[in-house]
Structure 1
């Protein structure tokens, strides 16, 4: 006998018997942690990809378009119905890169008087187009895509947790029923066959 051993103290790392449901729960917990980590990695990857694509789109659109001076044709473009001073559509006249005078409709500041100078955006053919996306465009697209991916991943994770809980509950109920069938006869004094 070793002298460093204390009496009454267990010397090994013996554990009580674990139920099958406990082992399944331990494995599924690790799998769920891995799935949660994968959702975060996928969210970060999607956000990075969308940010790069949105930045490229913004730069390409800015390179394809040109700011062009124009004159408003409408007397006083109507203000939006909500009373704000946002942009509204109004008629404008401009000269394209080939020297041709053109007219069309585009967004102009609300309450601009006819004959006022405004700046519009035109493409290489000289057609009036919507302005290119601003510097906030990549940030907004990244946030929307990351939140969408995160929400989808969270929904998937919640579904997997729900299925896991239901399966474990059924497994535990089966185990408890089996254990009760083994223990119940001893509690009722019915162990073994009775002789009369």
Structure 2
């Protein structure tokens, strides 16, 4: 197929044609709107989500700080049913907050450690235990993943809505053809007898 023929077929809804129906024009605008929203909205949603994620991770890196803690009980290695060992387990630790008060809590620590071992834990601005903030490179990857997910989610919603509207238009066209056939069909059918 020549390139010009493909372009003509692709743009048939936009050209003047005595067979073009009002529904064809509506469908053409719907298709254009869907692609426009996907292109502009998807990029916007992706960028906004990625930037928000990056800001959140940067805030976590700024507010969380590492502190030295003491393990309060032994953390044995656990062998799973498949014969592998788990690397981390929940254990009790004691640490000192920036204000100087001693606190205890439970957090994930490496398995195989004995009570009294010094470990590093992370705390938030209020002195509560928190997960370690992601590094800059990990945060960039996670922000990019969140942005791509937001863009794909918007794309799916927009394509789904466009498909639903086009389905309704198709049903309306088929119903219109049925009504027209009921009017014209009897003139074409020659009954003998």
Q: Give the TM-score, by structure 1 length.
A: 0.72
Task: Decide which of 166, 172, 178 is 1:167's aligned counterpart.
Answer: 172
Q: Structure 1 segments of 4 or more deviating over 6 A?
A: none
**How much does 1:92 deviate?**
1.2
Q: What residue number does 1:59 align with?
A: 58
Q: Report Cα offsets for 1:85-124 as digits up to 9, x if no partner.
A: 3432111122222333322111112333323332211123
Check conservation: 2:80, 2:86, Cα contact below 8 A: no
Q: Greater share of helix residues, 1 or 2?
A: 2
Between Structure 1 and Structure 2, whose CA radius of gyration is higher?
1
Is 1:28 aligned to residue 12 of structure 2?
A: no
Report matched runs for 1:1-196 at 5 Å.
17-18=18-19, 22-37=20-35, 38-77=37-76, 79=78, 83-133=84-134, 134-135=138-139, 136-180=141-185, 183-184=187-188
Rounded to whole Å, the distance in 2 between the matches of 1:77 and 1:154 is 52
Check conservation: 2:75, 2:89, Cα contact below 8 A: no
**How much does 1:132 deviate?**
2.7
**Unaligned stretches of 5+ in structure 1?**
1-14, 189-196
Rounded to whole Å, the distance in 2 between the matches of 1:180 and 1:173 is 10
Q: Give the TM-score, by structure 2 length.
A: 0.73
**Unaligned stretches of 5+ in structure 2?**
1-15
Q: Report Cα offsets for 1:142-172 as digits up to 9, x if no partner.
A: 2332232222222212211211110111112
Count, aligned residues: 170
Q: Specify whether residues 84 and 158 from structure 1 end up closer, same or farther in structure 2 by C-alpha distance, changes over 3 A only.
A: farther
**How much does 1:84 deviate?**
4.9
